[in-house]
Structure 1
Amino acid sequence: MSEERVGFFTDTSVCIGCKACEVACKEWNAIPEDGISLTGMSYDNTEALGASTWRHVAFIEQPRPDGRTELPLADGAPKPAAAGDGGAGGAGGAGDMRWLMSSDVCKHCTHSACLDVCPTGSLFRTEFGTVVVQEDICNGCGYCVPACPYGVIEQRKDDGRAFKCTMCYDRLGAGQEPACAKACPTESIQFGPLDELRERAAARVEALHGEGVPEARLYGEDPDNGVGGDGAFFLLLDKPEVYGLPPDPVVTTRDLPSMWRHAAAAAAGLAAAAAVAFLPAGGRGR
C-alpha cells in the first residue's frame, strides 16, 4: 500500500436508522434501485447487503435491557432525534422495547478470501487497503460469493457480475471521505485511518461501560481475528448474531496452502506408483 490504511468505524449506539447512508451510497455510485416494496420487516425495506445494496441499515426490535430508556451519546456527536417515543440512537423505541439499528457494509478484510479465489484479477486491494471489484474485468464466475465469510458479495441477475462496496475508491483518490460517512448526521459512520479508529472505538466502549451499558462491544476490530481484522468494524449493543453477523468469521481460504501441499504430495506419490507399475517385469524384481 502506498497510502495509510483507512476504514470505517460504525458506532451503532448512535445510529437513528435514517438511511441517509443508503441513499448517499446509491446516489454517488449510481446503484440500481431496490427495496421499493414493503417487506413487513419493520422499516428494513432492503433486508440485506447485495449487488444493489452496498449499505444496509438493519432494524432489530428487542426488549430494553434493565429498563433503560436512553444511551449516552459519543463525545461531540450531535443529539439525534429519537427513533420512536423514547431513547437516542441505536436504542430508539418505545416503552419496554427498543430498536437496535446498524448500518452494515463490506468489511474490507485484511485476509480477503474473495481476492484469493478471483481468477481474473477483477478483485484487487487498493493503495488504501480496501478491496474493490473492477466490474469491467469481472467474468461472472461467482467464486467470490461463497468465499466471503460475511455473505457480502452478490451477483447481479441481469449479467452475473459481482458487486459490493468500494469504500468510494474514486472519492478516496480525490482526498474525499466516502459518501455514506459524509451523509451520516449522527457520526455513527466514522471514516479515517484504521489505527486511529480502533483507538477511538476502544475509548467509546470504555465510556459506555462507565455509563452503565455493559453489553457494548466491538466487532471486527481485532487484527488477530479470523480475517486478520476488518477494515470496517462496529460497536454493537448485543451479540453479533442479533445483527446477522457471524460470531467468529474465518477467511474461507485459510487452508488453501496446506491443501495444495497435500495435493502435491499425493500427486508425487501417484506419479511414483505409476512409474513403478510401468517398469518391465524383470526390472521390478532386480
Structure 2
Amino acid sequence: MANLANLYDVSKCTACRGCQVACKDWNQLPAVIEPFKGNYQTHQDTNGDTFTIVRFIEHEDAVDGVQWNFLKYQCMHCLEPACMAVCPRDAYSKTEWGATIHDPEKCIGCQYCTYACPFGIPKYRKREDKITKCTMCAERVNEGLTPACARTCPTGALQFGDRNELLEYAEERVKFLRANGFPRATIYGRLELGGLNNLYVLTDTPDKFGLPVDPKVPGQIPFWQNIVQPYFGWLIPLALAGSAVSFVTTRILANKHGDHGEGGHE
C-alpha cells in the first residue's frame, strides 16, 4: 500500500481553524479553555484533549515590517518515530500506510515518548494516566475516507494522498512561491528525521513557523533503545538482588560493630 501523508501549504491557510474544530469533533474531545495571553492563538500547545492547533506566529522583518505566519501543528507521523522506539510497552505501531498509532490499552503513562519526540507531541492525559495524540484519523482512512482536518479545509491548504505525489506537487508549489515574492519558500518534512508524513510547504525558513530547523532525537534515546530497553526485564530483578545484598551486608557490618562496642565497655 502507498505511503499516505498530509500536505499543508501555509500560503493557502487563512487560519480559520476549521481543522482544529474538525479534529475536536471527530475525536469527541472536550473543550480546553486557556486564558487569553494577547494572541489570537487559542492554545499554547497541543494537550491531552487537543490533538491539532493552529499557531499564530508574529515576527518583525527589517524590510517587510510585522509579519503573521500561521501553522497547523499536530503529530508529524515520522517515518522513523522516536516515540515507538522508546516505549517500554510497545504501545506504538505503524499502519501499513504510514500513520503512527498509539494503543491506550498498553500505555502506562510513563511519558518516555513525550520526552523522546523532537516535536513534543505525545501529551499526558492525567484523568486516565495515559498518553494521547493525533492518529491521522486512521479509522477514517482505513474506510477510504480522508482525515477530518483535510476533509474540512475550505481553502485547499490541506491535502491528503500518496506521499510521493504530494512531494511532487510541493516542489512545483515551492518553485511558484519563490518566483512570486517568497524567495525562502521550502518543503519541510521530506528529509527531516528520515521523513515525516505531515509535510509542509513553507513560505519562509522553518524557524519562522516555530519548527526546528534541524530536528534531532535526544542523545539519550539511542542509549535507552540499544542498551537499557533490550535488558529492561533483567534490570528490576538485578536491582532487587542488589538491594537485598546491600541490606544483608549492612546488617552484618552493624552487628559486628555492635559486638566490638560491647567488648570495649567491659
> TM (normalized to structure 2)?
0.79
Unaligned runs of 5+ in 1: 68-95, 265-286
- Deviation track 1:25-77 (CA, whole Å, cap 9, x = no partner) reads 0000112211x23422421011112222211100112346754xxxxxxxxxx
Q: Tell me how far apart the structure 1 counterparts of residues 38 and 206 of structure 2 sit (CA, whole Å).
A: 19
- The structure that is helix-richer by fraction is 2
In structure 2, stretches of 5+ residues that fail to align are 232-266
Q: What is the TM-score when the length of structure 1 is the normalising length?
A: 0.74
Aligned to 1:51: 48
Q: 1:38 to 1:208 in 2, by over 3 A?
A: same
Contact 2:85 2:225 in 1 (8 A): no
Q: Residue 76 of structure 2 aligns to a residue in which SS?
A: coil
Q: In structure 2, which of residues 193, 197, 213 is the aligned counterpart of residue 231 of structure 1? A: 197
Q: Is the 8 A contact 2:39 2:56 kept in 1?
A: yes
Q: Measure how far apart 1:257 and its partner are.
A: 9.0
Matches within 5 A, 1:205-284: 205-222=174-191, 225=192, 227-252=193-218, 255-256=222-223, 260=227
Distance 2:221 2:132 in 1: 23
Cα displacement (A) at 1:206:
0.3
Shift of residue 104 of structure 1? 1.0
Q: CA deviation at 1:114?
A: 0.5
Q: Does the Cα contact within 8 Å between 1:58 and 1:101 map onto a contact in 2?
A: yes
Residues 189-198 or 57-66, more deviating: 57-66
CA distance 1:41–1:230, shift in 2 (3 Å): farther
Q: 1:29 corresponds to which letter in structure 2? A: N
Give the drift of 1:258.
Answer: 9.3
Give 1:101 shift.
Answer: 0.7
Deviations 1:98-149 (A, max 9, x none): 3211111111111111101112221111111110111222121211110111
1:162 is paired with a residue whose SS is strand
Cα shift at 1:236: 1.8
Q: Structure 2: which amino acid aligns with 1:128?
A: W
Matched, 1:37 2:6: no
Give the equivalent residue in structure 1 for 2:91. 122
Taking only the aligned residue pairs, the percentage that are identical comes to 36
| Matches of 1:41 and 1:239, distance apart in 2 | 25
- 1:156 pairs, out of 125, 128, 131, with 125
Q: 2:167 aligns with which of 195, 198, 218?
A: 198
Q: Which residue of 1 aligns with 2:15?
A: 17
User: Is the CA contact 2:182–2:204 (under 8 Å) kept in the aligned structure 1?
Assistant: no
2:202 maps to a residue whose letter is L
Instruction: Give how far 1:152 is off.
Output: 0.7
Q: Matched residues in 2 for 1:205 and 1:40: separation?
A: 34
The separation in 1 between residues aligned to 2:39 and 2:28, in whole angstroms, is 26
Larger radius of gyration: 2
